[in-house]
Structure 1
Amino acid sequence: MIPISIKALQTLLNADLVGEDVVIDALSTETSTLSHGSLFVALVGERFDAHDFVITAKQNGASALLVSQHVSCDLPQLIVENTKLALGQLATWVKVQCDVKTIALTGSCGKTTVKEMLASILSRKGQTLYTANNFNNDIGVPLTLLRLQPSHDYAVVELGANHIGEIEYTTKMVKPDIALVTNITAAHLDGFGSLEGIARGKGEIFEGLADGAPAIINLNSNGGLYWNSVLESKQLLTMSESDKSADYHALNVHQIDEGCFQFDMVTPVGIFPIILSLPGEHNVANALLAASAASNVDGITMKEVTEGLASVAALKGRGMITFPRPGLRLIDDSYNASVAAMKAAVDMLDSFDGDKVIVLADMREMGKYSGTVHQDVAEHLNKASIQTIITYGSASAVISEHCGGQHFDNKDKLIAYVVKLIKIKHTVSVLIKGAHGMKMSQVVAAIEEATTC
């Protein structure tokens, strides 16, 4: 974080100051990550109030506090009406201080992969800040921006949301130079209410763009008429894996080693061969999105684009392939699940030869659409040549019913069954996927442990 005095923050945030002036050079909303010189931001949520932990914050090295009420602590205190909004104000100020080319992205799925691809490309040219982990909501985005330094050349900021208005708030904070939406599909339906709500919510990202700035959309999955007005003043760029009318599209797509793909990328400046380091044909579309954004950054050539896409490291829980023992291909896609992501996982596993096992858990936050979207996945899975289908949860039971699978309501019993199964099947590919709240990473860990004992 850029060093700043508490006195300067008082003016910036229109806050009351209690205590002496100090300089802070770090910030945290968690007491466990504080260090000397840090500002502790006491956020308030539905089920917590961080004002209760200011003494712990002091003990862990905090030098000052950002609070919404006076607290009994001898550290300097900045008192504001709302600490979350003040966090956003501070992040907005930091972004203005750093002259950094910024790409913002959102979408129903693929955001994190595209973000990692962009970071891999831009890092070849300059110092790049990019969203860590899942810091993509109305708290995570400002925390990401607060990591900016004047030495950064580029920033890649992922914007997530589960309701209308959240991206409108964060995109105005980020003020991107380029913005893109990966796709629009069934995810967080409980909060958005409908696919129309998702389209409107994701389209808010373009409100942070200046007139004439590049706005990138997926011709196969976008907001359509809902985006027309906001895109009128932008430089519209399109991509598609299959539609040859798109500015960026793919030709000669074919699978190579370990589920990865190779293709020719058609761009406004020529055709370039692309080899992907991440498995799954869905990553062809992700690569086109990343390439379309990166190639519109001044100074980035197709050399950086092709090299960056060829060297993206897989993330745990997001389609990472490992071999815990000879003969066992374990595909850990356990981090989260939407309809499109579930179907992509099915297709990826189906692309491998030999015996295959898929373990799927519920997709969450689907509201009244839960039955419909799980049935949709079931119908897609039924077309694949996957020999063993296992499901866990409540909503996913329909998948096993439709596809002749084995369903479990108890995770311990599920794990015992899967571990026994992989001991019987010597040569097999196993894919694990489900909503983050279903904690399917526990199944992955159990398989890894069982194969190393």
Structure 2
Amino acid sequence: MNAASFYPLFLQSGKVTIDSRKVEKNDIFFAFSGETFNAATLAETAADKGATAVIVEQKEFENPDRNIFYVPSTLDFLQELAVYHRNHLKIPVIALTGSNGKTTTKEIIHAVLSQKYKVQYTSGNLNNHIGVPLTLLSIKPEHELAVVEMGANHQKEIEMLCTLAQPNFGYITNFGKAHLEGFGGFDGVIKGKSELYDYLKNYSETILINENDPIQVEKTAGYSPKITFGKNTSDYKYEEFSKDHFVGLSYNGSQAQSKLTGNYNFTNLCAAASLGFHFGLDFEQIKRAIENYTPTNMRSQILEQGGKTFVLDTYNANPSSMAESLKNFSTFEGSKTIIIGDMLELGDESEKEHQTTLALAESLNFDEIITVGKHFKKVSHLSKSFENTEELSAYLKASPISSENVLLKASRGIALEKIMEFIS
């Protein structure tokens, strides 16, 4: 079986899923095998639920009478089907990657473009070799635009994802100190993320450029077609403002205030607005989208609870995003406590980067600094340094935080949001 012969069945389906618990009538279930679990054992169960088809990579589970089909590799076939579907799509596909802000930028772009178009976009953080094909396969005939997020932690990954998504537009949010271990240092990050530029240049597609970022400018010098923002000579020029910790942008005297904190989110707003203008939206539509977008995903999320203001930024962390978060939080009025957790996947740079982050935190004169994680514990001389969230939770039960403002920032693996219930 190949993608071409299977495609008519796909067109009859509802959605494609790799989660047996989410199989519904008319879905296609790809039964992936893992180290500890073989989803092919659930093939018949998926068929019982009314799946249009089930794809397995173990011959013994094949049952053509029930549309349970064998392929040598479920991953390869998922990607092959996604490419085949992409080749039949006639809509613009926007791809974005970067070290920080990918998901927030993707969501704001979706919010803006949805003011005028029916837009499909990456769900959550399904941005890898499995998530991108699933996003492509979720694009239906009614969709007029698609926004595809691409994540990577090593060289050649963005290149591969581009061959799947075949983007017509692309944007790199920034180049930061993320996944240094996999990329082989900061220069490796630049090279790996720039694979999106390489693809777009090879096919003469459009690049969105923040002209305040010297790396973006250098990597796209002399290239066209492009959409630019940031400088007075750019296609779109915005001014930043903030009110009550929230960042906003002004354009030709008109303002749009978001519910996002941090000036690092200003460029995310600019990118979304620029794409909005490019696709024919007016500022009132862009303003409506920006002001109605509410972050709910532990990314630059502000919560008021128990008389305190919390900045919940626990979905991801690297030295670049950590520095920006600390600097932004230092501008808050009133007493301030920071709870910062380990930044993961830094490889040989880990000790130095944790030391640098801790030094920055101390220089910003917070009322209280609390660290959690083995990496911070190794370099910290602070009394309030804990190896894990369990130790920290026990401390917080006995020693409530008195500050008016509290920042929580860490890599996803630390699960720092778990301590919220212990902060009174």
Instruction: Answer whether TM exceeds 0.5 for this pair.
Output: yes
Amino acid at match of 1:67: V
After TM superposition, the structure 1 = structure 2 runs for residues 52-451 of structure 1, keeping only pairs within 5 Å, are 52-72=41-61, 74=63, 75-209=66-200, 211-221=203-213, 223=215, 227=219, 234-240=224-230, 244=232, 246-251=234-239, 253-257=240-244, 259-265=245-251, 272-297=254-279, 299-325=280-306, 327-397=307-377, 400-401=380-381, 404=382, 406-422=384-400, 425=402, 428-447=404-423, 451=424
Structure-1 separation of matches of 2:217 and 2:199: 19
1:76-109 deviation per Cα after TM superposition (whole angstroms, max 9, x unaligned): 2333332212111212233333332221110000
1:23-77 deviation per Cα after TM superposition (whole angstroms, max 9, x unaligned): 5333211111111222221224556543344344345443422223313353323
Structure-2 separation of matches of 1:49 and 1:163: 27
Structure-1 separation of matches of 2:199 and 2:71: 26
- Superposed displacement of residue 244, structure 1: 4.9
Distance 1:138 1:398, change over 3 A: same
Structure-2 separation of matches of 1:409 and 1:226: 41
Structure-1 separation of matches of 2:304 and 2:285: 30
Structure-2 separation of matches of 1:238 and 1:376: 33
Distance 1:46 1:147, change over 3 A: same
Decide whether the 8 Å contact of 1:22 with 1:63 is kept in 2. no
1:268-319 deviation per Cα after TM superposition (whole angstroms, max 9, x unaligned): xx5653322211111112112222233222x223332232222221123112
Structure-1 separation of matches of 2:136 and 2:153: 20
Decide whether the 8 Å contact of 1:117 with 1:290 is kept in 2. yes
Structure-2 separation of matches of 1:116 and 1:68: 34
Decide whether the 8 Å contact of 1:128 with 1:155 is kept in 2. yes
Structure-1 separation of matches of 2:367 and 2:379: 14
Structure-2 separation of matches of 1:85 and 1:234: 34
Secondary structure (helix, strand or coil) at the match of 2:159 reads helix
Q: What TM-score do you get using the length of structure 2 for normalisation?
A: 0.89
Distance 1:295 1:214, change over 3 A: farther
Structure-1 separation of matches of 2:163 and 2:214: 21
Decide whether the 8 Å contact of 1:203 with 1:223 is kept in 2. no
User: Equivalent residue for 1:3?
Assistant: none
Amino acid at match of 2:78: L
Structure-2 separation of matches of 1:212 and 1:22: 30
- Superposed displacement of residue 21, structure 1: 11
Give ranges in structure 2 of 5+ residues lacking alignment: none
Decide whether the 8 Å contact of 2:336 with 2:405 is kept in 1. yes
Distance 1:90 1:322, change over 3 A: same
**Most deviating of 380-389 and 350-359:** 380-389
Percent identity of paired positions between Structure 1 and Structure 2: 29
Structure-1 separation of matches of 2:166 and 2:413: 31
Secondary structure (helix, strand or coil) at the match of 1:24 reads coil
- C-alpha RMSD of matched pairs (Å): 2.8
User: Equivalent residue for 2:28?
Assistant: 39
Structure-2 separation of matches of 1:215 and 1:410: 42
- Superposed displacement of residue 399, structure 1: 6.3
- Superposed displacement of residue 157, structure 1: 1.1
Distance 1:445 1:176, change over 3 A: farther
Decide whether the 8 Å contact of 2:109 with 2:271 is kept in 1. no
Give ranges in structure 1 of 5+ residues lacking alignment: 1-9
Q: What TM-score do you get using the length of structure 1 for normalisation?
A: 0.84
**Most deviating of 176-185 and 38-47:** 38-47
Structure-2 separation of matches of 1:400 and 1:60: 54
1:397-438 deviation per Cα after TM superposition (whole angstroms, max 9, x unaligned): 26643xx4610014222013234444x62x511111111111
